[in-house]
Amino acid sequence: MIKHPLCKYTAFVALILIIPFVLKGSYLINVMVFVGINTMLAIALNLLLGYAGQISLGHAAFFGLGAYLSGVLTATHGMNPWLVMVAAAVGVGLLAFVIGFPILRLKGHYLAMATLGFGIIVYIVFNETVDITGGPSGLSGIPNLKLGPVAFDSDLKNYYLVWIVTLLVVLLAVNLADSRIGRSLRAIHDSEVAARVMGVNARLLKVQIFALSAVISSLAGSLYAHTMAFVAPASFGFNFSVELLTMVVIGGLGSIYGSFLGALLLTLLPEFLRFLHDYDIVFYGLLLMVMIMFMPGGLVRGIPALLRRMMTGRKKGETVDA
Amino acid sequence: MLEVRGVRQVFGGVTALDDVSFRVNRGEITGVIGPNGAGKTTLFNIITGIYSRTAGAVFLEARDISGLPAERLASLGMVRTFQNIELFSHMTVLENVMVGLHARSKSGMLACALKMPWTVAEERRIRTEAMAWLEFVGIADLAQVEAGNLPFGKGRLLELARAMACEPRILLMDEPAAGLNSQETLGLARLIRAVREKGVSVVLVEHDMELVMDICDRIIVLNLGRKLAEGTPRQIQENPEVISAYLGEEL
């Protein structure tokens, strides 16, 4: 296994750069754009859930707010998409900061219910403010992003655009996780009272990471709006919040690269499960059950363990030092 | 060093602490003893900002710290350990102690995410100092073990190392010998003395009378939420009120 963080990251960047050549001409490159967006979202949720141990069942709302702010302000009001993207991220971050203070005082089931409620409220607003968002039928005509002479109007260009941002988010998240702040978050997860006694301002730090998580989600939302050129409320409902949660758990709680694996699996899977039609949801349920039973640490820890066992498995009776 | 003045705590209709006052002198080991339900742990939770008190005040070096939240106290020089050890069980032993250096480091979220040069330097300092504290308590060989897998006795030592990493001026220990065997208790007594040698004042709540009488300079006895007596170990041992509180009054 690659141990050094910088080597790991370089290997990851290399993988992302190779993919377009492997998938040349395939529609899967378009799917990989969404893998990038979902990776950002899963990382955002993982910072909150896997590191700080605070659940959110409403994260699709932050994603949706970013998407709609970008969509409405550029398509309807013709504002500069890059400026809007930054402004939306800041605005959504501030909103999360403000609602984070009361919400994150809650714990466990109560926190789950409060974030669920937030998600539902935002979803209803997307549906009901028809004059602004276009309501259930969605908002179309969102322009592609442009950078000087380059217009991001093809799958391949969008792949590079989305993955440059995603790789940046991965790098920042990996750094943050492996730092004084990352440790404090995990400390809050294990024992909030002990963390506080050590001087960690748990209440503030939880709100800060909630806000950061919202900023990343909003950024992913803006990129989604511009690459899709169309947004509709159905993409930002409760189902998607649960899907994000599934990505984080299947990939591995508290692992940044695990979030990529989770996003990859759950974004690619529907492409290969078309033959199941509406029964694919049964498959997801089974997958989640099997994962939790046999790989509770997620793919990122489960796969190396499985490989080790396969390599050493033939010599039965010998104990393997984990 | 530490002064508790007229502290009173009422839970519902129950008075857990009633007008408790005492002082802790610099560089001393002060024991707080009393029968079960005397209010010792409640007192600790009030001093360390976990509970807010009903009345009274707490001063740390003449500064009124009553009502300050727990997270403010570490940087003012006060830390505590817990009766049922509170480790960060999914983190390594070394990482646990590194969290102990939180109050003495300051890289923010942005600097950490950008891995600024000073953040990297600070991280190196945190690691080195944390390692030194593990050596101080004698579990440096377990640095990479996940804290949740430690045997109980080692967990106690880790909690002490983590608290000391804050470089406190005063350390409060809630029943540090609970669950330890006699060998481990002896080692603990040595460590507590070593902590005092470093100029740290120690307050401990403890049931192990042998340990308390052995290492404490002064003892405060609580009973039913009130201060019953205060004095040197010898004075306490000879105090008839203390004896009757522990053994029950003669009929």
The answer to whether the CB atoms of B91 and A187 lie below 8 A apart is yes
pLDDT of residue A321: 42
Given an 8 Å threshold on Cβ–Cβ distance, is B87 in contact with A212? no
Contact A195 B88 (CB under 8 A): yes
B173 vs A27: which has the higher pLDDT: B173
Q: Is B6 helix (H, G, I), strand (E, B) or coil?
A: strand
Identify which has the larger pLDDT, A318 or B248: B248
Tokens 């466990």: give the residue. Answer: A108
Identify the closest residue of chain A to B96 by CA–CA distance. Answer: A187
Contacts of residue A175 in chain B, CB cutoff 8 Å?
112-115
Q: Nearest to residue A88, comparing CAs of A116, A102, A60, A67?
A: A67
Taking contacts as CB-CB distances below 8 angstroms, the residues of chain A near B164 are none
Q: Label residue A24 by pLDDT band (50, 70, 90).
A: confident
Q: Kindly report the three-state secondary structure assignment for every residue of chain A.
A: CCCCHHHHHHHHHHHHHHHHHHCCCCCHHHHHHHHHHHHHHHHHHHHHHHHCCCCCCCHHHHHHHHHHHHHHHHHHCCCCHHHHHHHHHHHHHHHHHHHHHHHCCCCHHHHHHHHHHHHHHHHHHHHHCHHHHCHHHCEECCCCCEECCEECCCHHHHHHHHHHHHHHHHHHHHHHHCCHHHHHHHHHHHCHHHHHHCCCCHHHHHHHHHHHHHHHHHHHHHHHHHHHCEECHHHHCHHHHHHHHHHHHHHCCCCHHHHHHHHHHHHHHHHHCHHHHHHHHHHHHHHHHHHHHHCCCCHHHHHHHHHHHHHHCCCCCCCCCC
Which segments of chain B have a pLDDT < 50?
none
Distance from CA of A174 to the nearest CA of B (A): 8
Give the dihedral sign, CA A202/A207/A208/A212.
positive
At A181 the pLDDT is: 97
Contacts of A183 in chain B (CB under 8 A): 91, 95, 98-99, 102
Beta bridge partners of A44: none
The single-letter DSSP state of residue B175 is: S
Residue A316 has pLDDT above 50, yes or no: no
Residue A124: what residue type? I
Beta strand spans in B12-118 (E): 14-24, 29-33, 55-60, 63-64, 78-80
Average pLDDT on A234-240 reads 92
Residue of A nearest to B122 (CA): A180
Say whether B108 and A181 touch across the interface (CB within 8 A). Answer: yes
Mutate to test the interface with A, among B86, B91, B109, B149 (most CBs of A within 10 A): B109
Using the CB atoms, write b or e for B157-177: b if 16+ within 10 Å. Answer: bbbbbbbbbbbbbbbbbbbbb
Q: Which residue among B102, B109, B123 sits closest to A176, beta carbon to beta carbon? A: B109
Q: How far is B147 from chain A (nearest CA, A)?
A: 11
Q: What is the distance in angstroms between the Cα of A7 and the nearest Cα belonging to chain B?
A: 16
- Residues A198, B119: C-beta atoms closer than 8 Å: no
Nearest CA-CA partner of B49 in B64, B63, B68, B62? B68
What are the distances in angstroms from CA A185 to CA A95, A148, B95, B211? 21, 40, 12, 36
Distance from CA of A197 to the nearest CA of B (A): 5
Residue B8 main-chain phi, psi, to 5 deg? -135, 135
pLDDT of residue A313: 66
Degrees to nearest 5, angle at CA A196 with A191 and A198 = 100
Shortest CA gap A61–chain B (Å): 24
Greatest mean pLDDT among A2-16, A291-305, B96-110, B227-241:
B96-110
List chain B residues with CB under 8 Å of A191. Answer: 86-89
Q: How far apart are the first and last CA of chain A?
A: 14
Beta-carbon separation of A176 and B112 below 8 A: yes
B171: β partners: B79, B202
What percent of chain A is modeled with pLDDT above 90?
75
The full set of domain ranges for chain B reads: 1-77+168-251, 88-166
Q: Lowest mean pLDDT: which of A61-65, A160-164, B227-231?
A: B227-231
A:B CB pairs within 8 Å: 99
Contacts of A200 in chain B (CB under 8 A): 71, 99, 102
| Burial of B200: CB neighbours in 10 Å, binned 0-12, 13-18, 19+ | buried
Tally the C-alpha atoms within 13 A of residue B4's C-alpha that lie toward its C-beta. 24
For residues A80 and B192, give the distance between their C-alpha atoms in angstroms, rounded to a whole number. Answer: 64
- Confidence category of residue A314, pLDDT binned at 50, 70, 90: low
**Distance between CA A8 and CA A15 in Å, rounded?**
11
The pLDDT of residue A2 is: 59
Under a CB-based contact definition with an 8 Å cutoff, are residues A275 and A236 in contact? Answer: no
Rounded distance between C-alpha atoms, residue B216 and residue B187, angstroms = 15
Helices (H), B57-106: 70-76, 93-100
Specify whether the CB–CB gap between A142 and A75 falls below 8 A. Answer: yes
SS3 B82: coil
Per-residue model confidence (pLDDT) at position A1: 52
User: Are the Cβ atoms of A179 and B119 closer than 8 angstroms?
Assistant: yes
Q: Determine the pLDDT at residue A318.
A: 44
Chain B residues with CB inside 8 Å of A196's CB?
A: 69-71
Residue B74, min C-alpha distance to chain A (Å): 5
**Per-residue pLDDT reduced to its tens digit, A187-225:** 999 999 999 999 999 999 999 999 999 999 999 999 999
Q: Across the interface, do B79 and A189 touch by the CB < 8 Å criterion?
A: no
For the stretch A70-123, pLDDT in tens is 999 999 999 999 999 999 999 999 999 999 999 999 998 999 999 999 999 999
| Mean confidence (pLDDT) of chain A | 91
pLDDT the model gives residue B250: 53
Provide the pLDDT for residue A322.
38
d(CA A223, CA B243): 74
Beta carbons of B56 and B98 less than 8 angstroms apart: no
B1-77+168-251: CATH number: 3.40.50.300
Among A173, A198, A212, the residue with its CB nearest the CB of B102 is: A198
As a whole number of angstroms, the distance between CA A12 and CA B248 comes to 71
Q: Mutate which of A49, A176, A178, A179 to disrupt the B interface (most B C-beta within 10 Å)? A: A179
